[in-house]
Amino acid sequence: MVRGWCFIFFLSLITSFARSQSLDINITRGTDLNFTFNTIRQYNNGIIMAGATEITVESSAQWDLYVGAQTNIAGRWDLLNSYSSAGTSNVPVSILELRASSPGGTSQQTAFFQLQDNSSPIFLIGSAADDPLTAGGVGANAPGDPANNAFTHRFRIDYKLTPTMGYTPGVYSLTVVFTLAEDL
């Protein structure tokens, strides 16, 4: 008998304010997601939740958008409840993969990438350095809002979770943090 795993994660948004600029990020769909694994095939091949989260960005300044995981122990899923002592409960956050897309194809991460701890986040738009302002194309981070700039200020996030069989069956959680910051 295969006991199921349940992976739960919550989404969090952080907006940084600098000077008199306005930055706003909203999750319009998909804040609490739950992956339940009941078959060997699901453990080995993973489960994909396509378009599970939608994010909009409104900004009066050039901006960066990045994502990372927040857990009690950096880089590891939080174990809430175990069903067995078999396997290891040190589950890396990297078993969760994300893919971000926008109608204008502006995300820098159009293929699935492994989630990392929030201390070393992955940039969806922009970088840790100052970026040249781009009005269109990859990395578009100009001021605007999702109503007037839907191609560059609206994102859908897909998730893929592939735990494989080596981990302790149980309920795990993590928080995925999307951060919007002024590109300084």
pLDDT higher than 80, residue 41: yes
pLDDT higher than 60, residue 135: no
Q: Is 122 left (phi over 0), alpha (psi -120 to 50) or beta?
A: beta
Give the least confident one: 2-6, 58-62, 79-83: 2-6
Distance CA 108, CA 172 (A): 29
Give the least confident one: 65-69, 76-80, 89-93, 139-143: 139-143
Name which of 66, 47, 86, 36 is nearest 155 in CA terms.
66
Residues comprising the chain, all counted:
184
pLDDT at 3: 45
Distance CA 104, CA 107 (A): 8
| Residue 183, both tokens | 């590109």
Of all residues in the chain, the percent with pLDDT exceeding 70 is 83
Q: What is the DSSP letter of 144?
A: B
Name which of 161, 133, 137 is nearest 59 in CA terms.
133
The more confident residue out of 164 and 48 is 48
Instruction: Give kind and range of the element (H or E) at residue 116.
Output: none
pLDDT at 20: 60
pLDDT at 132: 57
How confident is the prediction for the chain on average, in pLDDT?
83
Name which of 13, 38, 36 is nearest 26 in CA terms.
13
Of all residues in the chain, the percent with pLDDT exceeding 90 is 38
Residue 59 C-beta-side C-alpha neighbours within 13 Å: 27
Output the pTM of the full model: 0.84
How confident is the model over 6-31, as pLDDT tens digits? 555 565 555 544 456 788 988 888 88
pLDDT at 2: 42
Which amino acid makes up residue 29?
Answer: R
Strand partners, 81: 171
pLDDT at 18: 47
pLDDT higher than 80, residue 4: no
How confident is the model over 77-98, as pLDDT tens digits? 999 998 888 888 899 999 999 9
How confident is the model over 165-174, as pLDDT tens digits? 889 888 999 9
> What are the phi and psi torsion angles at 157 (to 5°)?
-115, 125
